[in-house]
Structure 1
Amino acid sequence: MAVSSPLAAGHPLFFAPHRAMFLSGTVMLVVVFFLWAVEIAARATILPSLGWVLPPGWAHVLLTVGGAFPFFVFGFLMTAMPRWQGMGEIAASRWLVSWRLLALGWAAAIAGLWFGPLLAVGLAIVLYGWMRLAAVLWTVAFRSRPDPLHARAAWWGVAGGGLSIFAWLVFALGGGAGWARVGIEAGVWWFLLPVFFSVCHRMVPFFSSNIIPGYVIVRPRWALWLMLGASFVHGALGMVELDGWRWVVDLPAGLVALWLGIRWRPVAAQRVRLLGMLHIGFAWLSIALLLCAAQAVASQFGWHGLGLAPLHALGLGFFGSIWLGMVSRVTLGHSGRPLAADRLTWSLFLALQAVVLLRILADVAPAVLSPLLMLAAVVGWLSILVVWALRYLPIYLRPRADGRPG
């Protein structure tokens, strides 16, 4: 009897957008951090570096922020946003070609790290696929009712991500280093932070209200607008190299994130692990923003001792923790499985918190220790990704456990 290919039409991988997107994003995360582990190992030893055509740090940000995380963003928004807006599911015909474009484009872009011309080709393909997906989400987000606040905020984040890819493309075509800076700043502050915060602002209080007795939802619109505005200004100041003034927006944004995190009752949320993960992950946002503010103020006096610690508190702490908690939740819930984190998933999450602390320590440690601590952190994170992938990726290749579509 013939066995159908995993890429054949009608395979469970394509039953819902999050399946193909999450699988591709996970594979890319593993590939990207394997490459980064090799690069960090070369720094910590006498091994040769990977010889990329881009500075290694830039390549790392490009592949992580612009490459891996967007698969999860699109997979989540394509699945959740229609529900927010009271619409039916998005047909595969509207996203499948774009998913293939993203996968093909990033495969070419990764090869382009060694063969320069392919980098621009890959980024052009990615940008086209990105624009197609943004166009689909536009038709969902820009509806008069129900309340489109979070859908539109997330969409503008997606638009910021498209601008980041465009800036990277201009750089790959011969633009100056300033375009790479725009790509980095827009990717983190105009794309990922707006999308992640918009999702948390909507979903964390909602999930909590279903678990915690007597829970009162605290979700002020002004907090969302303040965070989005602060994130935009932070990125813009970075683009024009006025990093020392970022504290003006980072300090109030960090205090608002701290206030929200407390009002959302994180201690009570720990009775359910999947919910507790989201609260712990959100706590990293206030830590990261307050570290950013401290770093900006210190830089006015010529002190730069925090290095990339604020960025890693944001990227690995906030984005990474919310990724693990939210993607695990969506994967379980949309596969007909119980919404409960098993011991392995919870252990991986706790291990991630240790990795975040280790990576931050590497940024402030003496120079002789920093490479070894960085290597330990990246190996730890890569191990978490591999184990998580072995646990969850097979789910995307099987029909729902409850027999329902999706």
Structure 2
Amino acid sequence: MSYPIIFKDGWRVFFMAAGLYGVAAMALWVAWLQGWAEAPFAPAPNAWHAHEMIFGFATAALGGFFLTAVPNWTGAKAAPERFVAVVAGLWLAGRVAVWFSGALPAALVAAIDLAFVPVLAAKLLTQLMKRPKPQNMMFLVLLTLVWVANLLVHLDWTGVTATEAQGLRGGLLSICAMIAVLGGRVTPAFTRNALLRADETAALPVTRKPLEVAGIALAILTAALAVLGAPAALTGTVAVGAGLAAAARLAGWRTAATLGDPIVWALHAGYAMLALGLAAWGLALLGIGPEIGALHILGIGAIGGMTLAVMSRASIGHSGRPLVAPGPVALGYALIPLAVALRWAAAGWPGPMYGIGTLGAGLIWIAAFALYLVALWPIWTTPRPVREAAA
């Protein structure tokens, strides 16, 4: 059976899907806020918005990343086109089910939406077992946390528990924990490569083992505590520690030297948002600052910024093109911190600023991912270029 080219590689269909859904879901949210659209789904619109950005947009980005990276880590055979098509179909079915949840039984919506991550994780397990390493196997644990968090949301929506908020926060923090691990791995490595390409004598990023361990362990513990619904004082204290550890790690990675290279600088910006967001969320749980603002630093800045950076870089690199961000994508990188600032202002200064900041942040997010889609669409939908042999 012949499949469209977007199913040839996991990064094609899932990075495309993440961009399309990031634009579409945010556009509906903005339209609802402005009174331009009705909500066809069963949950409250704000819960739908949070759920779909976490378990819709972000999990699509994770799917594309893991289906691409795990075979490279282990030497295992990449997932065949039929599997990529099936698992992409499961992800899409979840989005459709939640969209039409107002007309479907809640248990059916849950069953459909919860199917994607286990199928993806099962394939990743078969690939990881070829060369099992603890630092890679831990992603199965984090994917399990994401799935459990989504289950908590659906248990609430089916009337079994009252765990919607716990599940949404747990899912967000579990994905942030993956960023702490993956971002902490690729950001200094890609920075080192870029600096050496520019100057073989350049000072390189510094990683310190105690900080690496603390940054990863505290981020994962924060996620676990959020999923478990642990006391706010405990979770907040650990989250502040995770944010400080992330900031300490970033301090050694020579961020200032990357400012002229957007495809590298964007990784640093996403990791900086992770550090800031974890610390701000922890402080909010301790009674200092607005929680909703901190959650959006993590959602827009850490998850949105880092996924935009990684998806664009992987798409360009795996298509055989030079690792240079196209102009529209570089502009998209720069827009994400602006969206974070506006959404934070909306949370910190309610009243007129709420409407302005929320609408502005949503429109800027849409613009950033629309630029990403326009620039990278030809990469996802065309074969890898064939390099001419040297004369």
Compute the TM-score of the two structures, normalised by the length of structure 1: 0.86
1:219 CA drift (Å): 5.8
What's the CA shift string for 1:111-163, capped at 9, x where partnerless? 21x3242x542431232232111111112334555xx2432222221111121
Instruction: State whether residues 277 and 349 of structure 1, in contact with CA within 8 Å, keep that contact through their aligned partners in structure 2.
Output: yes
- Partner in structure 1 of residue 103 of structure 2: 115
**How many Å separate the matches in 2 of 1:400 and 1:50?**
41
**How many Å separate the matches in 2 of 1:215 and 1:394?**
34
Q: Which range is displaced more, 213-222 or 269-278? A: 213-222
**How many Å separate the matches in 2 of 1:366 and 1:162?**
33
What's the CA shift string for 1:326-353, capped at 9, x where partnerless? 1110111111221101222111211221
- Partner in structure 1 of residue 188 of structure 2: 205
**How many Å separate the matches in 2 of 1:50 and 1:285?**
31
Specify the code of the residue in structure 1 equivalent to 2:72: R
3-state SS in 2 of match to 1:362: helix
C-alpha change, 1:116 and 1:171, in structure 2 (3 Å) is farther
C-alpha change, 1:336 and 1:374, in structure 2 (3 Å) is same
Specify the code of the residue in structure 1 equivalent to 2:5: P
What's the CA shift string for 1:301-350, capped at 9, x where partnerless? xxxx5241111111101111111111110111111221101222111211
- Partner in structure 2 of residue 19 of structure 1: 12
Instruction: State whether residues 177 and 216 of structure 2, in contact with CA within 8 Å, keep that contact through their aligned partners in structure 1.
Output: no
3-state SS in 1 of match to 2:368: helix
1:320 to 304, 329, 332: 304
Equivalent residue runs for 1:57-76 within 5 Å: 57-76=46-65
Specify the code of the residue in structure 1 equivalent to 2:257: A
Instruction: State whether residues 97 and 113 of structure 2, in contact with CA within 8 Å, keep that contact through their aligned partners in structure 1.
Output: no
- Partner in structure 1 of residue 154 of structure 2: 169
**How many Å separate the matches in 2 of 1:169 and 1:366?**
30
C-alpha change, 1:243 and 1:116, in structure 2 (3 Å) is farther
1:228 CA drift (Å): 3.6
Instruction: State whether residues 154 and 199 of structure 1, in contact with CA within 8 Å, keep that contact through their aligned partners in structure 2.
Output: no
- Partner in structure 1 of residue 28 of structure 2: 35
1:52 CA drift (Å): 4.2
**How many Å separate the matches in 1 of 2:109 and 2:16?**
20
Specify the code of the residue in structure 2 equivalent to 1:195: M
3-state SS in 1 of match to 2:148: helix
Equivalent residue runs for 1:200-279 within 5 Å: 200-212=183-195, 213-218=202-207, 220=209, 221-236=212-227, 239-240=229-230, 242-279=231-268
3-state SS in 1 of match to 2:187: helix
C-alpha change, 1:161 and 1:307, in structure 2 (3 Å) is closer
Instruction: State whether residues 235 and 285 of structure 2, in contact with CA within 8 Å, keep that contact through their aligned partners in structure 1.
Output: yes
C-alpha change, 1:244 and 1:52, in structure 2 (3 Å) is farther
Compute the TM-score of the two structures, normalised by the length of structure 2: 0.90
Instruction: State whether residues 293 and 343 of structure 2, in contact with CA within 8 Å, keep that contact through their aligned partners in structure 1.
Output: yes
Instruction: State whether residues 189 and 231 of structure 1, in contact with CA within 8 Å, keep that contact through their aligned partners in structure 2.
Output: yes
**How many Å separate the matches in 2 of 1:53 and 1:335?**
40
C-alpha change, 1:375 and 1:170, in structure 2 (3 Å) is same
C-alpha change, 1:387 and 1:343, in structure 2 (3 Å) is closer
3-state SS in 1 of match to 2:115: helix
1:99 to 69, 88, 91: 88
**How many Å separate the matches in 2 of 1:71 and 1:383?**
19
**How many Å separate the matches in 1 of 2:115 and 2:356?**
40
Specify the code of the residue in structure 1 equivalent to 2:343: R
User: CA RMSD, aligned part only?
Assistant: 2.3
- Partner in structure 1 of residue 317 of structure 2: 333
Instruction: State whether residues 150 and 199 of structure 1, in contact with CA within 8 Å, keep that contact through their aligned partners in structure 2.
Output: no
3-state SS in 1 of match to 2:34: helix
1:81 CA drift (Å): 1.5
C-alpha change, 1:397 and 1:48, in structure 2 (3 Å) is closer
**How many Å separate the matches in 2 of 1:217 and 1:96?**
41
Specify the code of the residue in structure 2 equivalent to 1:222: V
C-alpha change, 1:248 and 1:401, in structure 2 (3 Å) is same
Specify the code of the residue in structure 2 equivalent to 1:227: L
Instruction: State whether residues 77 and 127 of structure 2, in contact with CA within 8 Å, keep that contact through their aligned partners in structure 1.
Output: no
- Partner in structure 2 of residue 348 of structure 1: 332
C-alpha change, 1:219 and 1:298, in structure 2 (3 Å) is same
2:136 matches 1:151: yes
Specify the code of the residue in structure 1 equivalent to 2:238: V
What's the CA shift string for 1:340-387, capped at 9, x where partnerless? 012221112112211111111111113232122211211221122223
C-alpha change, 1:73 and 1:229, in structure 2 (3 Å) is closer
C-alpha change, 1:110 and 1:387, in structure 2 (3 Å) is same
**Paired-residue identity, %:** 22
C-alpha change, 1:18 and 1:31, in structure 2 (3 Å) is same
C-alpha change, 1:362 and 1:122, in structure 2 (3 Å) is same
Gaps of 5+ in 1: 1-7, 300-304
